[in-house]
Structure 1
Amino acid sequence: MELTLNEKKLLVALGPAGSADAATLAERMETRREAVVQYANLASERGLVDVEKHVSRQYVLTEEGRAYAGRGLPERQVLESFEETIPMRDLQAHPLAKIAIGWMRKKGWVTIRDGVVQKTGNAALGPDETAFARVSETGAVEDGEGVADLARRGLVEEVETVAYTVSITPRGRELLAGGLDLREEVGTLTREQILSGEWKNLPLRRYDVTKLPKRAYPGKTHPYQRLLDEMRRVLFDMGFEEMAGGIVQSSFWNFDALFQPQDHPAREMQDTFFLGERWPLPAGYERVRDMHEHGGETSSTGWGGTWSAEKAKQCVLRTHTTSLSIQHLAAHPNPPVRAFCIGRVYRREAIDPTHLAEFEQLEGIVMDEGVNFRHLLGFLKEFYAKMGFEKVRFRPGYFPYTEPSVEPEVYVDGLGWVELGGAGIFREEVTAPFGIEHPVLAWGLGISRVAMLKLGLRDLRQLYRSDVEWIRETPTYGGRR
């Protein structure tokens, strides 16, 4: 049997006794304890030694616990700082009062009436104090009465100690008795050793080519971030520029500029996160007001009623990135415009596997002479095809700021047709107040749903968890991990 030098040294270190713990073997072999465990596991696979793992759990003082060591728990220290009664005002001057008063009342040591704290005379040592005294004196204790209470208070914490015992087997004794060659092995040959033929007489280190190497986990981009980056690359390749804006928007840009009526259900508190701030309205807001009230200078009749400037000033966490699209168009009213945004939006949702209160949305707009509904469908089909969805279809939809409107769907094996957002052509009521005279194609897509489909997830929350194992195991594009 061909053994490595380290396996041979391990058998020799076990010696006549035939058994020792990893720490003792590490001293004998002049190496690290972790290395001994590694050598022992290799020798165990050959049946030369047996390896036993021993796990013990003990409790030690936390930083806060060490501050009380030798003096007792805070409630005991405060209790012993006064006689039978003391005004609450005076007791609160004690540095531990904030912690201790509640515990003294909970344990029934004191009563408080009319601003006076009085001892009850019932303050015997409890299991938690006894346990605290033991751990303070010995440095560590095993689980026992009162320890759990200290752990809940953050005064002690559990530490795990792992020890290994290595024992030689009859097979190992047989090899040891036959004598072992302990010459240092050669792992790397020099040029001179190869040319001279010296290598033929050297004790070469044996390598097992069937053994898998230790798995390496290099740094990698989060799978969801990779998908966002891929979407950006696709849109850049399609000739789009990226736009950006703050997550806090005025109701004017988030709702009113998009011709969403001020009594629309989406503006209710149960659907939108409203903030205390109010922002001034932009110059020319009167054209948006007129559009809402009577249709402005277009053939539209608007929504009627009286438009409230105060309601338009109220700030919200943006409910969609379309608020950025209309601002971009207001700043660039002349064609051509081809822009996109990937940003987080916020809605008051009940959180479950398919709904979150915040998520990413992809917003896209195209404004140019002569663009029409067929161009919109073409842009969407091209984008989804580049994202790996071969089958795409559209069904009619309704949105307050587009007409006509569609909801794109992609076909996913095992799930069927899945809706992935909304799209349409901005209504004249949206574009006219900002002097935009050409059609604007617009769409908003739920990126998180695309991510679930691409990554094979069943729970949307997985995208936002700090799950290192999932990140390690999720392949990068091309099948690499």
Structure 2
Amino acid sequence: MELTLNEKRLLVALEATGSVDAAVLAEKMDARREAVVQYANLAGERGLVDVDKHVSRRYVPTEEGRAYMEKGLPERQVLESFEETISMRDLQRHPLAKIAIGWMRKKGWIAIRDGVVEKTGTTAPGPDEAAFARLSGSGAIEDGVGVGDLVKRGLAIEEETVAYTVSITPRGRELLEAGLDLREEVETLTREQILSGEWKDLPLRRYDVTKLPRRAYPGKTHPYQRIIDEMRRTLFDMGFEEMAGGIVQSSFWNFDALFQPQDHPAREMQDTFFLGERWPLPAGYECVRDMHEHGGETSSTGWGGTWSAAKAEQCVLRTHTTSLSIQHLAANPEPPVRAFCIGRVYRREAVDPTHLAEFEQLEGIVMDEGVNFRHLLGFLKEFYAKMGFEKVRFRPGYFPYTEPSVEPEVYVDGLGWVELGGAGIFREEVTAPFGIEHQVLAWGLGISRVAMLRLGLRDLRQLYRSDVEWVRETPTYGGRR
């Protein structure tokens, strides 16, 4: 039987004792404990030793727990700080009141009536206090009644200790009695050893080429970020430049400049996060106001009614990145313009496996002489093809600021046709107030939905969790599927 030198040294170390802890073996062999466990597992596969794993758990105080050790749990300290009754106002002056009052009520130690706190007389220590007393006395305790409550409160944490006992088997003793060659093994041959033939008599180290190497987990980019970076590179390759802007926008840029009426449902509290700040309107806002009220100098009749400057000044967390597109066009009203933005947007959504209150959106615009609806569909098909979706189709859609409008869909095996965003040509009511005379192609794409399809996820929230195991196991694609 071919053994490594380390396996032989392990058997020799076990010769006298027969069974010993891995930490003791490590001292004898002048090696790390982890290395000795590895040698033992190799020898165990050959039936030469037995390796027994022992796991023990104990609980030690956290930093917060240590702060309470001398005087007791917060609720006990606060309870003992007053006589039978005390006003709530005076009780709240105690530095531990915020923590203690809730626990005292939960344990039935106090009753609160008309702003007065009164002891109930039922203040016997519970299992958690008994466990905390044991913890304070010894600094570490085994599992028991009340310990789980301390862990939930963040006053104690679990420590796990793993020990290994290595025992030599009869087969291992037979090898020892037969004698072992303990000469240092040669791992790498030199040129001189090969030319001279010396290598034939050297104790060469044996390698098992059928053994899989230990898994290595190098640092890598988060799968979701890889997809975002891929989209960015794709758009750069298609000749786009990147635009950016703040997540806080005035209602003027988020809604009014996009010809969204001031009484539109999307402006209501259930869809939008409104902020207390107000920003002044930009120069020339009157053109947008006139467009809303009567259509300005275009053939449109507008929305009618009276446009409110106060509503337009109110700030919101941006509900889409289209607010950045119109600002970019306002600053660059002459062609050619080809720009995109990848940014986070915010909406009041009920969080579930397919909806979040914040998510990433990709926005793209193209403005040039002679561009039309066919160019828009061509851009979208090209982009989706580069993202790995070969089958793309379009169906009519409606958006307040584009006409005509479409909703692109891609075909996914097992799911069928999946809608991935919206697109269209900016209406004249959007572009005219800013002196834009050429057609503007625009589209918005929910990146998270693309990521779910690419990564085979069923829950959108997985993209934002700190799940190291999922990041490790998710393959690193060379770009696209």
TM over 0.5: yes
Compared with structure 1, are the counterparts of its residues 336 and 76 closer, same or farther at alpha carbon in structure 2 (3 Å cutoff)?
Answer: closer
Match of 1:422 in 2: 422
Instruction: Name the aligned partner's letter for residue 64 of structure 1.
Output: E
Compared with structure 1, are the counterparts of its residues 101 and 432 closer, same or farther at alpha carbon in structure 2 (3 Å cutoff)?
Answer: closer
Task: Compute the displacement of 1:92 (Å).
Answer: 6.5
SS of residue matched to 2:225: helix
Task: Compute the displacement of 1:135 (Å).
Answer: 2.4
Compared with structure 1, are the counterparts of its residues 413 and 290 closer, same or farther at alpha carbon in structure 2 (3 Å cutoff)?
Answer: same
Task: Compute the displacement of 1:66 (Å).
Answer: 2.3
Aligned-partner Cα distance in 1 for 2:479–2:400: 42
Aligned-partner Cα distance in 2 for 1:92–1:401: 54
Using the TM superposition, name which of 146-155 and 53-62 deviates more: 146-155
Aligned-partner Cα distance in 1 for 2:115–2:275: 41
SS of residue matched to 2:234: helix
Aligned-partner Cα distance in 2 for 1:396–1:97: 61
Aligned-partner Cα distance in 2 for 1:309–1:441: 28
- After TM superposition, the score normalised by the length of structure 1 is 0.92
Alignment of 1:275-354 (within 5 A): 275-354=275-354
Cα shift readout 1:83-128 (whole Å, capped 9, x = no counterpart): 7778888777765565556555655666778988777766544433
1:57 and 2:44 aligned: no
Match of 2:365 in 1: 365
Instruction: Name the aligned partner's letter for residue 2 of structure 1.
Output: E
Using the TM superposition, name which of 293-302 and 90-99 deviates more: 90-99
Using the TM superposition, name which of 291-300 and 91-100 deviates more: 91-100
Match of 1:457 in 2: 457
Match of 1:166 in 2: 166
Match of 2:257 in 1: 257
Aligned-partner Cα distance in 2 for 1:102–1:456: 44
SS of residue matched to 1:69: coil
Match of 1:214 in 2: 214
Is the CA contact 1:111–1:120 (under 8 Å) kept in the aligned structure 2? yes
Match of 2:137 in 1: 137
Cα shift readout 1:361-384 (whole Å, capped 9, x = no counterpart): 111111111111111111111111
Task: Compute the displacement of 1:40 (Å).
Answer: 0.9
Match of 1:377 in 2: 377
Match of 2:185 in 1: 185
Using the TM superposition, name which of 12-21 and 87-96 deviates more: 87-96
Gaps of 5+ in 2: none
Match of 2:236 in 1: 236
- Percent of pairs with identical residues: 89
Compared with structure 1, are the counterparts of its residues 88 and 290 closer, same or farther at alpha carbon in structure 2 (3 Å cutoff)?
Answer: closer
Is the CA contact 1:70–1:133 (under 8 Å) kept in the aligned structure 2? no
SS of residue matched to 1:441: strand
Instruction: Name the aligned partner's letter for residue 458 of structure 1.
Output: R
Aligned-partner Cα distance in 2 for 1:112–1:400: 55
Is the CA contact 2:230–2:479 (under 8 Å) kept in the aligned structure 1? no
Aligned-partner Cα distance in 1 for 2:480–2:340: 30
Over aligned residues, Cα RMSD in angstroms?
2.6
SS of residue matched to 1:390: coil
Gaps of 5+ in 1: none
Instruction: Name the aligned partner's letter for residue 329 of structure 2.
Output: L
SS of residue matched to 1:345: strand
Task: Compute the displacement of 1:403 (Å).
Answer: 0.9
Match of 2:223 in 1: 223
Using the TM superposition, name which of 151-160 and 232-241 deviates more: 151-160
Instruction: Name the aligned partner's letter for residue 215 of structure 2.
Output: R
Task: Compute the displacement of 1:336 (Å).
Answer: 1.1
Aligned-partner Cα distance in 2 for 1:314–1:92: 38
Instruction: Name the aligned partner's letter for residue 454 of structure 1.
Output: R
Compared with structure 1, are the counterparts of its residues 110 and 367 closer, same or farther at alpha carbon in structure 2 (3 Å cutoff)?
Answer: closer
Task: Compute the displacement of 1:311 (Å).
Answer: 0.8
Instruction: Name the aligned partner's letter for residue 328 of structure 1.
Output: H
Aligned-partner Cα distance in 2 for 1:54–1:271: 55
Alignment of 1:398-477 (within 5 A): 398-477=398-477
Aligned-partner Cα distance in 1 for 2:350–2:87: 48
Is the CA contact 1:343–1:362 (under 8 Å) kept in the aligned structure 2? yes
Task: Compute the displacement of 1:147 (Å).
Answer: 2.0
Aligned positions, number? 481
Aligned-partner Cα distance in 2 for 1:312–1:82: 55
